[in-house]
Amino acid sequence: MLLRHAPDLSEREVTPRALYLQRRHLLAGFGGLMLAGAGAAGAAVRSPFSTDEAPTSLKDITSYNNFYEFGTDKSDPARNAGRLTVKPWKVKIDGMVGKPGDYDLDDILKAVTIEERIYRMRCVEGWSMVIPWNGFPLASLLKRVEPQSGAKFVAFETLVRPSEMPGQGGFFKILDWPYVEGLRLDEAMHPLTLMATGLYGESLPNQNGAPLRLVVPWKYGFKGIKSVVRISLTDKEPRTSWNIQAPQEYGFYSNVNPAVDHPRWSQATERRIGDSGGLFAKRRPTLPFNGYADQVAGLYTGMDLRKFY
């Protein structure tokens, strides 16, 4: 089942559900083009990549965020991200690609298939969630823009717009803006690597990185760059924000690894947000590659993961 982000959320809201579904079927009939509010219940087919662990509540996922463009407190993004304009949205795709350009997000979405992917998310700070994302594999976008043979890495950039992102202004500069991230090309092309456009079947809330964010479930959460406006293919390892900030604490790879501690805390265990134990919940063991070792460990054979942390 194909699912795409409804550009016409408002129409969906005013359309009776039966009629709406009927229309979807009609559209589906015409050349396989499917329009769907990602919100239509039961519409999403579960991906084999999804975990069957219980998803974290929508409330927790949308109220406990690290998105320093909106402030450093975990409650800041939910409070401040509301006024971010996410439409229209353009993504500049450049560097070593055959088809560079400023792509409109709607145009990007026309060419991809939206799936539901329920992934574990492990934050470098030692907590974790289970998040039902909606999105498309980054690989499908990259293939479309035709990476050149010399391209080895993918660099990403977040929007800079201090007028709508209060964390980017102010007297104290918390990070060097724009937030930048990067992946090796083979990591970027891996089928688990997702560009998310929604969660819980709805449009991505601004505080979670609307309208387009990266999700790499075997890496620490900060690799999942939010509100992406630029994707560049290069032959050099891109600079990444947290590595620039504290190179001895955050490496380029940042794969989830219980055996390699953060210098200031252990990564051996994690707290699952919303755990039924509440305040008295036990920590759980953190798994290598966040439990995705079967799929991704092969990307790193022969590498010393203590050195390339």
Partner 1 sequence: MAIANLRIQARFPTWPVYLAGLLPALWYLYQAIYGDLGADPLKVLEHAMGEWALRFLILGLAITPLRREFGIGLLKYRRAVGLTAFLYVVLHLAVYVWLDHGLDWRAIWADIVKRPYITIGMAGFLLLLPLAATSFNAAIRWLGGRTWNRLHKLVYLAVLAGAVHYVMLVKSWPPEPLVYLAIVLALLGWRVWRRA
Q: What tokens does 263 get?
A: 């210098």
Q: Which residue of 6, 34, 37, 64 would you call a contact of partner 1, by CB under 8 A?
A: 64
CA distances from 94 to 102, 110, 179, 228 (A): 8, 20, 17, 13
Candidates 66-74, 131-139, 179-187, 232-240; binding stretch for partner 1 (CB under 8 A): 66-74
Instruction: Assess 28 for contact with partner 1 (CB under 8 A).
Output: no
Q: Which residue of 264, 285, 301, 307 would you call a contact of partner 1, by CB under 8 A?
A: 264
Q: Which residue of 42, 282, 301, 307 would you call a contact of partner 1, by CB under 8 A?
A: 282
Give the number of residues in contact with partner 1, rule: CB under 8 A: 33
Pairing between strand 180-184 and 127-137? unpaired
Instruction: Assess 259 for contact with partner 1 (CB under 8 A).
Output: no
Length of the chain: 309
Angle ∠(136,141,147) on CA atoms, nearest 5: 145
DSSP per-residue codes, 7-73: S-HHHHHHS-HHHHHHHHHHHHHTTT-----TTSTT-PPBPTT---SPPPPHHHHHHS---GGG-SS
Instruction: Assess 54 for contact with partner 1 (CB under 8 A).
Output: no
The candidate with the shortest Cα–Cα distance to 178, out of 197, 156, 193, is 156
CA distances from 26 to 9, 29, 257 (A): 18, 5, 48
**Residues 239-258: x where in contact with partner 1 by CB under 8 A, - otherwise, as a string:** ---x--xx------------
Which H/E stretch holds residue 76? helix 76-80
At which residue do the structure tokens 């069957």 appear? Answer: 52
Q: Which residue of 11, 102, 107, 261 would you call a contact of partner 1, by CB under 8 A?
A: 261
Instruction: Assess 166 for contact with partner 1 (CB under 8 A).
Output: no
Q: Kindly state the smallest distance separating residue 135's Cβ from partner 1, in Å.
A: 22
The full 3-state SS of 87-155, as one line of letters, equals CCCEEEEEECECCCEEEEHHHHHHCCCEEEEEEEEECCCCEEEEEEEEEEEHHHHHHHHCECCCCCEEE
Candidates 68-76, 95-103, 144-152, 223-231; binding stretch for partner 1 (CB under 8 A): 68-76
Q: Which residue of 59, 83, 110, 284 would you call a contact of partner 1, by CB under 8 A?
A: 59
Q: Which residue of 8, 266, 284, 308 would you call a contact of partner 1, by CB under 8 A?
A: 266
Is the CB of residue 124 less than 8 Å from the CB of residue 262?
A: yes
d(CA 208, CA 79): 12
Instruction: Assess 144 for contact with partner 1 (CB under 8 A).
Output: no
Site for partner 1 in 112-131 (CB under 8 A): 125, 127
Which is nearer to partner 1, 242 or 309 (by Cβ)? 242
Instruction: Assess 171 for contact with partner 1 (CB under 8 A).
Output: yes
Candidates 98-106, 179-187, 270-278, 298-306; binding stretch for partner 1 (CB under 8 A): 270-278
As a whole number of angstroms, the longest Cα–Cα distance in the chain is 57
Instruction: Assess 30 for contact with partner 1 (CB under 8 A).
Output: no
Candidates 1-9, 155-163, 274-282, 298-306; binding stretch for partner 1 (CB under 8 A): 274-282
Instruction: Assess 285 for contact with partner 1 (CB under 8 A).
Output: no
What residue ranges bind partner 1 (CB under 8 A)? 59-60, 63-64, 68, 72, 74-75, 125, 127, 171-175, 242, 245-246, 261, 263-266, 268-269, 271, 273-274, 278-280, 282-283
